[in-house]
Every structure is written in structure tokens, then in C-alpha cells.
Chains A and B, each alone.
Chain A
Amino acid sequence: MPSTVVTLKVNGRAQEFLARPGTTLLDALRESCSLTAAKKGCAQGTCGTCTVLLEGKPVFACLVPVETVAGRSVATLEGLSDGDTLHPLQESFIELFATQCGFCTSGMIMAAKGLLARNPNPSRADVVRAISGNVCRCTGYEAIIDAVLAAAAKMKNATPIRKKAAE
């Protein structure tokens, strides 16, 4: 059946590829854009390991037919760091041992990124709610929640310095 040409803005760069009907955003990212941070876990929208940001909001990439988001902007874990400088979320996940097998980590960080963009000062309950669609079978979640809160604190302190640097 005919494939269609789909253009997406992925991590700030335009990506163009052919997609067969039924191709999910997740498959397009992994197979056409070679961005493999978002994982395919359940392919049912249940495990959250495919979480990416669509127009800044976390979504399960495995549930999105890619044709329906043509022209939209997508952010994946690969776009998070600034060259060799890790994003505060990535730093905190390392510092606080919030990752074990690592399969959920990309989705966890993107769900957290979506939360912090909307709510830079989250409570513990806000973090729990934000990652409630993401399953982790290793950590027991506490370290992940701690890491998200630590990143939020870091980002709050860092903002004025970065602004100063920009001036």
C-alpha cells in the first residue's frame, strides 16, 4: 500500500521519511530517524517507555500514527543534552542512581521533562502523578522521584545564572 512522505521536526531539526500506513511515531523515530532512546515495550500505551514530547507534551509514541502528527515538533531524549553537557534531569538520574536496567529511563526522563516545563516547582505528589504512566520494574520508583525533584531544584537555581550568561 502507498507510503506517504512525512516531515517531522525532531529535536529542532526537520526530518523527512516515508511511512507505511499504520507506522507509529515510535517506529518512525527508531527506524527512520535512527533515534532509539524511546523504547518499544508493550506497544499498547501501558508501559510508558516510548514517552516522547509532542509539542512539548508527553505522549506515548507507540499510540500515535505518524501521519497524524506530520509537521509537528517532537522531542526525544537524544535532544536533551547540550553537546557533552547533560541536562539536569540526566545528571540527577545518574547522581541519585535512578536507573538500573535503563529500559524505562528514557520515558521517565521525558515524562519528567514534560512535567517540569509546565510546573518547575513540583511537589512529590506531582512527580508521582506525572510518571504514573511509566512502569519501572527495577528501582521501586523512589530514586526516580528523588532525581526528578533534585533536577527541578537544580534547574531553578541554574536559571538566573544562564540568563546572566546570555546577557
Chain B
Amino acid sequence: MLRAIDVPQTTAEALTSLARARDALVIGGGTLVMPKVQAGASGLGALVSLAHCKLDKIAIKGDKVTIGAATTLAAIGEERGLAFLHSAIESVGSPTLRNLATIGGNLFTEQPYGDVAVCLLALDAEATVATRRGVKKVSVAEILKKGIGRDAIVTAVSFKKPEKGTWFYRKAMRRAANSASIVTIAALLPQSKTRVAKARIALGGCGEKPVLAAKAAAALEGQKLDADSVARAGALLIKDTAPFTDAYASAWYRARVLPVHFRRAILGE
């Protein structure tokens, strides 16, 4: 049973509200937390909503993008300056869900959900994290590994917009729309003189949280993007991952199809 729902008007008020109760959780759109409330989650006494904290702005200055944590996935899907992310956004849930779900919340989603977090990891995005002690920048990679602590709130994420032709995304699903991930692949592969200058590959459906495929990325660096190099890198993906079994797919199946969807993502098959 919930004791209280606070709807603060500023981040500072939200932090105060969060500090007041040890059993409080932050909610953005509610798509992660409210199902638990509805199912009678125990140990959850209060919610602190970010809905009115004015954290829903998208700022694009040159190639620097900053997105407020409470920005809905629908709003990102409508932002022309973020067209490279649109296929990822549309692969998440349904349009109705995306009218509620926020980009900040996506960081705290467990796989096989949270495809936008997979993208943020591939983009090496940074989050702005506010506590009552101050504001700091923390990499999304670190947040996905360690969380942020119960007294902190992610207020924004920021990243460098990828140059044309350097961003790759593919999500394997059970049906064309509104499905969790079998495997999700997001890759940032800037090239110089037709060779991969630097590779950063993030995977979903391959662990509780999105993971980086460092070995596969290292194998792609300095290579031309062709069937051979992508196959070699694809074979290494599994080394950094631990695919799991759930209602969508078995761990065996996920491991088996991961290199296939990787090849399709990178070579556009």
C-alpha cells in the first residue's frame, strides 16, 4: 500500500521528498513502477513523480544533445534532430506506452526491455545526476553497472550526435511491434578512409543490463566493414555477454542468433 505520492515542482523539492522516506521510489512516466504498485509491491511506501519538475526539454547544439530525464520516448521520436534514434524509439513498446515512458526511466529498466539504454551505452552517453549534495556527471555505463543510489535522481542524459553513416541499430523481436528484445544491437562505428576508426558496440537481451561488447569492438577497429570483418567480430560478441532464458527466447537461441542480427545490423541486410 502506498502512503504518499509526491508531485514536486522542482528537482530540489524532489530530492527533499526522496530523502524523507527510505521506501520511496522516483517515477517518470510510471511504466516500470506502476505495474509493481498494481501487483501489490511490498516495501514500496512512497512515489516521487518527476512529471512536473520541468525535466522534459531536448536541447541540440551542433552535435551536442542533452535530453531531460523526464522527456517521453514519444517526444524523442518526434524530434527531427534525433532522427538517427527513431528506429530504436519505435522498437520500444507501443506508441501509447511511449507517450508515458521516459528516457531517464529507460536507464533503470531490466533487460529484455530498455533498448534506448542500449543506444545510450553505445553512444557513451553521460547522465546528470542530482543529489542534495550537488550535481555530477556520471557515465551511463557506470549507472548501468552500479545504479545511482537511492537518494539520487538522473535529471538529464547527454551525448554527441553520431555522424552520418556511423550509427547502427537492430532489434530482433517476436513480432513486428510491441515486443521485448530477443537481442538488441546498437553500434557507433566512426570511420576514417573506409576503415573503422573506433568501435563501440552495446547489446541488449544479453544480460540483466545492456552490456558493451569490447572484444568484438576491438576486432572491428582498423578493419573495413565487410562480410569477413563483421563475421569475425560477430563471433566474439558472446565473449562479453551472458544471454538469458525468458518467455521471449532461450539463452541458447539468443546466443545463436546474436551474430546473425549483428551482421544484419552492420551490413544493413
Contact = CB atoms under 8 A, between A and B. Distances in A.
A2 B51 CA distance: 21
Interface stretch (A31-39, A93-101, A128-136, A150-158): A128-136
Given A43-B35, A128-B177, A129-B177, A58 B4 contact: no
Contacts of A159: none
Interface in A42-75: 43-45, 48, 51, 54, 57-60, 62-65, 67-70
Contacts of B31: 45, 60, 63
Interface in B84-134: 90, 93-97, 99-100
Contact of B34 (A58, A62, A69, A132): A62
Given A60-B97, A63-B35, A68-B30, A22 B2 contact: yes
Given A62-B34, A67-B7, A129 B96 contact: no
A48 B4 contact: no
Contact of B96 (A2, A24, A51, A128): A51
B35 A65 contact: no
A64 B30 contact: yes
Given A21-B5, A22-B1, A59 B99 contact: yes
A130 B95 contact: yes
B95 A133 contact: yes
B47 A65 contact: yes
B27 interface: yes
Contacts of A115: 95
B227 interface: no
A1 interface: yes
Nearest to B4: A21
B88 to A, nearest CB: 15
Given A68-B49, A128-B177, A54 B99 contact: yes
Nearest to B44: A22
A111 interface: yes
Contact of B35 (A45, A54, A64, A67): A45
B39 interface: yes
B38 interface: yes
Contact of B99 (A44, A57, A62, A68): A57
Given A65-B5, A132-B177, A24 B51 contact: no
Interface string B13-37: 0000000000000010111001101
Interface of A: 1-2, 21-22, 24, 43-45, 48, 51, 54, 57-60, 62-65, 67-70, 111, 114-115, 128-130, 132-134
6 closest A-B pairs by beta carbon, nearest first, are A133-B94, A22-B2, A132-B177, A133-B96, A43-B38, A44-B35
Interface of B: 1-5, 7, 27, 29-31, 34-35, 37-39, 46-47, 49, 51-52, 74, 90, 93-97, 99-100, 176-178
6 contacts: A44-B38, A45-B35, A63-B29, A65-B5, A67-B5, A70-B7
